[in-house]
């Protein structure tokens, strides 16, 4: 059914919507405004195209965009059931699918969609504070900065655990801190936003059980790779994704690998009993049903029901199975492995570390010793060369690292004349990247050679 058909049904039943001249805009004026907007939107990088492999920007699937637009003709609000009865039901189905994917029991899971991964993590850390008042929340040095910020919002002490050279939380350093008895919750990251590194979740869970602390999994970026666990393409990260079911709470962003528009995160709690902390009263809101309203288990109030409609529609085409949405993640993983292999064979570009998901970080380096400032300057030239909008364009991101984060065989060739150096970072999160990874590498290597010091 089209949006026009839905509107026609309503008009046939209740008559035309009265025209209010105060909000009327002529077709000519609308066309002029939209033309101006289209012109303004040209000031963007080509985010939808696979030549863009910089930040975590991925176009929503056309089906998701169409479903969002269809639901927006009604503009439901998934706070109270009378604000979006249909889309609230769709959201519950999406949450059940996510719970099943991570290994939770859907009937025992409390969860909902959110407007972002930041808000989803805020809710998880808020519950952590309520369950362990006065206790510290710990995350790794490469965890997303949102955890430190949200701890500040919540008035909770945040502890940073050092990482090993591969970007994972140091399990030994974590145990040292757990022995103080101050930690209440550990944040494990499955897919850091810098390297795509996957923390050793089984080891973290074992320590958590021993010391009686909770584990929250921030899988905002990497969560959907759970679909590939056990199929032979994630290597050591397999065990971490398979262990997700034992975590106390999990955050996953459908607006990353779930093919959704921005404004779609999610939070899941293994124990629905934490819903008691959300309990509140609203004298004008929760009247249309005795069933639990989504606003009664969320810190947010108004949320776009269209986000639930878009995600639900996408899951009908790409279910959360290895052969469904997992098939697209296999392609992003394939692109990263191909890019990493080509870099590994290059005389000019060198891997920072083998990719665990679909993020590849690398740096330019000559045969002789190089100063860290020289590497940074060379990186800047490659970055600038790729952003020229011509036939050889490529769009990358940059990453600041310390010397100790470099692998041993590179570290010994680097002269320390600055506290950090800048390297290149590529996020190959579009399935289409599997088709052009080789072309992108050739363009990057050519730019590196052309701009060499």
Whether 394 and 425 have beta carbons less than 8 Å apart is answered as no
Whether 239 and 201 have beta carbons less than 8 Å apart is answered as yes
User: What is the domain-level CATH number for residue 366?
Assistant: 3.90.1150.170
For residue range 272-290, what is the model confidence (pLDDT) as tens digits?
999 888 875 655 455 555 5
For residue range 302-319, what is the model confidence (pLDDT) as tens digits?
888 999 999 999 999 999
Q: Does 265 fall in a domain?
A: yes
Which residue, 295, 317, 339, sits at the end of a domain?
317
Q: Do 246 and 329 fall into the same domain?
A: no
pLDDT band at 77 (very low <50, low <70, confident <90, very high): confident
Whether 421 and 408 have beta carbons less than 8 Å apart is answered as no
User: What is the domain-level CATH number for residue 208?
Assistant: 3.40.640.10
For residue range 239-260, what is the model confidence (pLDDT) as tens digits?
999 999 999 999 999 999 999 9
Q: Do 244 and 358 fall into the same domain?
A: no
CA–CA dist 123, 309 (Å, integer): 22
For residue range 17-58, what is the model confidence (pLDDT) as tens digits?
777 788 888 999 999 999 999 999 999 999 999 999 999 999
Q: Do 225 and 104 fall into the same domain?
A: yes
Q: Do 275 and 393 fall into the same domain?
A: no
Strand partners, 268: 111, 250
Does pLDDT of 158 surpass 80?
Answer: yes
- Burial group, residue 105, by CB count within 10 angstroms (0-12, 13-18, 19+): exposed
Q: Do 242 and 136 fall into the same domain?
A: yes
Q: Do 308 and 164 fall into the same domain?
A: yes
Q: Do 91 and 137 fall into the same domain?
A: yes
Residue entry with tokens 């993983």 = 333
Total count of domains within the chain? 2
- SS3 readout for 383-424: HHHHCCCCCCCCECEEEEEEHHHCCHHHHCCEECCCCEEEEE
Which residue, 300, 317, 334, sits at the end of a domain?
317
Q: Where are the alpha helices (DSSP H) in 73-184?
A: 85-102, 117-131, 146-154, 171-178
Provide mean pLDDT across the span 196-218.
Answer: 98
- What pLDDT shows up at residue 330? 97
Provide mean pLDDT across the span 374-384.
Answer: 98
The C-alpha angle 257, 315, 69, rounded to 5 degrees, equals 85
pLDDT band at 216 (very low <50, low <70, confident <90, very high): very high
Q: Does 19 fall in a domain?
A: no
Q: Does 6 fall in a domain?
A: no
> Higher model confidence: residue 289 or residue 351?
351
- What pLDDT shows up at residue 82? 75
- What pLDDT shows up at residue 8? 79
Q: For the chain, give the mean pLDDT.
A: 93
Q: Does 263 fall in a domain?
A: yes
Q: Does 34 fall in a domain?
A: no
CA–CA dist 148, 168 (Å, integer): 17
Q: Do 276 and 143 fall into the same domain?
A: yes
Q: Does 274 fall in a domain?
A: yes
Q: Do 271 and 357 fall into the same domain?
A: no
Secondary structure element (H or E) that encloses residue 6, with its range = helix 3-14
Residue entry with tokens 């697209």 = 328
- What pLDDT shows up at residue 284? 47
Q: Do 295 and 331 fall into the same domain?
A: no
Which residue, 268, 300, 317, sits at the end of a domain?
317
Q: Do 177 and 95 fall into the same domain?
A: yes
pLDDT band at 409 (very low <50, low <70, confident <90, very high): confident
Q: Does 56 fall in a domain?
A: no
Determine the 3-state secondary structure of 169 from DSSP. strand
Provide mean pLDDT across the span 74-84.
Answer: 81
Least confident span in 74-83, 226-235, 377-386, 421-430: 74-83
425 φ/ψ angles, rounded to the nearest 5 degrees: -135, 130
- What pLDDT shows up at residue 85? 86
Does pLDDT of 416 surpass 80?
Answer: yes
Q: Do 313 and 211 fall into the same domain?
A: yes
| Range of the structural domain that residue 265 is part of | 68-317
- What pLDDT shows up at residue 285? 52
Q: Does 31 fall in a domain?
A: no
CA–CA dist 343, 346 (Å, integer): 5
């Amino acid at each position: 059914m089209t949006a026009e058909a839905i509107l026609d049904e309503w008009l046939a039943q209740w008559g035309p919507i009265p025209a209010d001249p105060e909000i009327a805009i002529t077709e000519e004026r609308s066309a002029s405004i939209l033309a101006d907007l289209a012109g303004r939107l040209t000031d963007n990088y080509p985010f939808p195209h696979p030549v863009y492999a910089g930040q975590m920007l991925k176009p929503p699937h056309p089906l998701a965009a169409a479903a969002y637009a269809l639901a927006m003709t009604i503009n439901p609000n998934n706070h109270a059931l009378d604000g979006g009865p249909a889309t609230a039901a769709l959201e519950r189905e999406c949450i059940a699918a996510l719970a099943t994917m991570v290994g939770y029991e859907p009937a025992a899971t409390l969860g909902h969609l959110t407007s972002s991964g930041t808000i989803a993590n805020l809710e998880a850390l808020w519950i952590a504070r309520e369950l362990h008042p006065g206790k510290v929340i710990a995350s790794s040095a490469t965890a997303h900065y949102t955890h430190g910020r949200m701890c500040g919002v919540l008035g909770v002490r945040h502890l940073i655990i050092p990482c090993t050279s591969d970007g994972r939380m140091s399990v030994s350093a974590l145990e040292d801190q757990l022995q103080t008895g101050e930690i209440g919750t550990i944040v494990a990251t499955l897919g850091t936003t810098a390297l795509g590194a996957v923390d050793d979740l089984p080891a973290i869970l074992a320590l958590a059980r021993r010391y009686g602390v909770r584990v929250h999994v921030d899988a905002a970026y990497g969560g959907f790779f759970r679909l590939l666990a056990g199929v032979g393409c994630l290597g050591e990260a397999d065990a971490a994704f398979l262990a997700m079911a034992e975590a106390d709470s999990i955050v996953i962003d459908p607006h990353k690998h779930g093919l959704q528009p921005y404004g779609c995160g999610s939070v899941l709690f293994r124990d629905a009993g934490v819903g008691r902390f959300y309990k509140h009263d609203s004298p004008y809101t929760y009247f249309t049903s005795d069933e639990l309203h989504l606003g009664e288990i969320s810190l947010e109030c108004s949320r776009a029901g269209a986000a639930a409609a878009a995600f639900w529609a996408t899951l009908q085409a790409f279910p959360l199975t290895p052969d469904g949405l997992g098939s697209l993640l296999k392609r992003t993983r394939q692109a990263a492995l191909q890019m990493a292999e080509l870099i590994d064979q290059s005389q000019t570009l060198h891997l920072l570390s083998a990719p665990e998901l679909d993020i590849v970080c690398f740096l330019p380096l000559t045969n002789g010793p190089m100063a860290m400032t020289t590497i940074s300057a060379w990186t800047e030239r490659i970055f600038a060369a790729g952003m020229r909008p011509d036939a050889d364009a490529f769009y990358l991101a940059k990453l600041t690292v310390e010397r100790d984060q470099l692998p041993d065989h590179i570290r010994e060739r680097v002269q320390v004349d600055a506290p950090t150096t800048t390297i290149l970072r590529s996020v190959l999160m579009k399935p289409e990247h599997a088709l052009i990874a080789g072309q992108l590498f050739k363009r990057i290597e050519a730019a590196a050679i052309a701009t060499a010091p």
